Amino acid sequence: MNSQKIHIENFEKERKEILNAYRGLIRSIKNRSKEETKIIRKAFDIALEAHKDMRRKSGEPYIYHPIAVAKICAEEIDLDVKSVICAILHDTVEDTYLTLKDIEELFGAEVSKIIDGLTKIPDVFDENASIQAENFRKMILTISDDFRVVLIKLADRLHNMRTLSSMRPDKQLKIASETKFLYAPLAHRLGLYSVKSELEDLSMMYTNRDVYETIEKKLKSSKEVRNRFIRRFMAPIKEQLIKEGYIFKIKTRTKSISSIWKKMKSKGIPFEEVFDLFAIRIIIETPPELEKPDCWRIYSIVTDYYQPSPERLRDWVSTPRANGYESLHTTVMSPKGKWVEVQIRSERMDIIAEKGFAAHFKYKESKSSENKFDRWITDIRDLLESADENAIDFVNEFKLNLFKEEIYVFTPKGDLRVLPTGSAVIDFAYDIHTEVGNTCIGGKVNNRLVPLSYKLQNGDQLEIITSSKQKPHEDWLKIVISARAKQKIRYSLNEERRRIAEDGKEILDRKFKQFNLTFNSENVTFLVKFYELEGATELYYRIAKGKIDLTKIRSIEIKNGHLQEKVYIKEEVKKETKSPKTDKKQNPIIIGEDFKGFEYQMAKCCTPIPGDKVFGFISIHEGIKIHRYNCPNAENLMSKMAYRCIAAKWKSKELKEREVSIKITGIDRKGLINVLTKSITNDSNITMKGISFDTNDGLFEGYVKVMIYDTSHLDTLITKIKEIDGIEDVIRHETLNSSDL
């Protein structure tokens, strides 16, 4: 009886605490109507009933979680009432008996759609990296539908991080690492600075607890000294602001623990030498039309009292950041010899800085901010269009391209363009238009001719030079860094590949007719397996490129227009000549695009290509270098440093162009170079990357850099060049290069 009484008392106590939590949520929702309050209560009652038998890892009733998430949405992200309702209900469809149809009948189609978006997103955390990345990709897919889905998911993650202490240590570490890698940068990109800072700090608390606690302790012990310093520093400025009639408030923002640690690591300094531990924020009440002049007037007041650092001025009032952030930042020297950062902004700017893109709903007149957000959504759509990109590559690309700092550059007419830091001329060309990018051959930066790879600087003015004969090259993917440019280049390359494959398909069709074969999927599939390829498109592409020997079809039994299985006996593989010794105990390096084991690169001294017998050499600073066995450096490496040599082999299915240098000698005659270049580029359909020739007493010696698939491709080219009248010898060129050791 006693235990039953205790149980009833506990139940009543929990019920009261839950109702108090709900009332706290209601108080946090400003400017709600009576009707909206009724709908919120309805959502709460339904969620409470649905989750009544569920508990969190901490043992508390599960309903606390959706209430807390809803409160974060209302109070910290400033989302609308519909978002709050969705946050209360966000786990009901996934975890309880309620269906999307139930939600739609009770709350309407819009709420149902957002809940559907949240339900489709599983927790990103997973033991398997590719599944984890795929789940993140699913979440990003929802941004272009209704970005409130992602904001609610961020609120969900923030509350989970705040209550992570109840999880197992291994789960804490993995979830914290994922939060730091994906969710914190996403919050930053959406302008949610306080959410981003807290996520980073909470992540650090679980991934680097000792350092976190040390910095936290030092911040607490120096708090009173900091506060006294700030009061003295601001006294004359406050007096002048009051004198000039400004209505203002002053906030102090202490640098987050994770940001302090980043600064300590990047600068190699102790805590005591981090000068920007805090920033002083002056927030003024002023109408939109006076925001800019008032911010600069207050800047003038601050710099009347304290000397500014010109290098540390940041004008995001004239040119807001891509996520809508507006503020005027300056760093000034205090009388005590300390640098102090001062941030000047209006109330509207402060709300946007704290609440991010969600705040733009309140300021519809801010067209520039809406356009920047639309542009970001466009970039996301560009990334999502890369259907052939795997999920891990997508996450890396997304993080790399959309969370980078920006630079500001100008068109010839003075229009402003915002690009990721590190962008090249070709990034700018694609930012203007896809066709401009596809045909770009160079640019003029500040009236100076520059190549495609030129890295842009803040304030550069660009003019793009195009040619109708230009088309995208695979090398461009190594130059560009913007999501848009990479996606458009990949698309063009795939289109070109498909066009070439169509030519190959026609060639195969003609060959089938020659052998009285039916051109159908069964015969094509047979050949795909026969040549050990990934699919029909790859087969057609290789046929067009002359990489498939179709005469082998004669060796296959043909019956009634069909190729027959397993009658072709492959030729015996010739025994390989004995190669120099490498470390057989280690697994060989597999050289190919999907290789994940080690960082490796091709040695410049011998430029290996598929078909070459190769080995890996572990260099001191640059990872593993791949050398040919007949490389000029091979003997030296094998004899003196055999312990650093490891076996390597090519991924046989890969078809990728690589740069090779060939040396050509012969008798000089008029027009020879024209004949030679025509033979290489037109007749052999090979890309030339460079050419240089010297003549002496009627003889010439030249070097040509070409893009080659493999050794057989190179041998075919060499044979063709040797057929030209006047050419005496053609050999592959290599140089001794000590940097490859």
Strands (E), 668-698: 688-696
The 3-state DSSP class for residue 476 equals: helix
If DSSP codes are grouped into helix, strand and coil, which group holds residue 25?
A: helix
Mark whether 95 is an active-site residue: yes
- Choosing from 17, 45, 95, 622, the catalytic residue is 95
Q: Output the CA–CA distances (angstroms, integers) from residue 207 to 76, 199, 204, 210, in the order listed.
A: 25, 12, 5, 9
d(CA 642, CA 617): 9
475 Cα distance to chain centroid? 19
Residue keyed to tokens 């240098």: 661
By three-state DSSP, how is residue 560 classified?
coil
Cα-Cα-Cα-Cα dihedral of 137, 140, 142, 146, to 10°?
A: 180
Contacts for 439 with CB less than 8 Å, ≥ 6 apart:
466, 467, 468, 470, 471
Query: Could you give the 3-state DSSP secondary structure of residue 731?
Result: strand
Q: Cβ neighbours of residue 394 under 8 Å, at least 6 residues apart?
A: 133, 137, 383, 386
| Rg, C-alpha atoms of the chain | 33
DSSP conformation class of 30? T
- The encoded tokens of residue 493 equal 């390359």
Which H helix or E strand runs over 49? helix 34-50
> Rounded CA gap, 638 and 38, in Å?
80
The Cα-based distances of 59 to 53, 91, 611 in angstroms read 12, 18, 62
| Active-site position among 9, 49, 94, 123 | 94
**Structure tokens belonging to residue 609:** 């290509």
First and final C-alpha spacing in the chain: 83
Q: Is 558 helix (H, G, I), strand (E, B) or coil?
A: strand
Tell me phi and psi for residue 627, to 5 degrees.
-120, 155
How far is residue 529's CA from residue 641's CA, in Å, rounded to a whole number? 42
Q: What is the DSSP letter of 61?
A: B
| HSE-CB of 693 using CA atoms within 13 angstroms | 17
Written as one letter, the residue type at 49 is E
Instruction: Decide if 503 is catalytic.
Output: no
Q: How far apart are CA 708 and CA 119, in angstroms?
A: 49
Residue positions counted in the chain: 741
Separation of alpha carbons 319 and 331, rounded Å:
19
Catalytic positions: 94-95
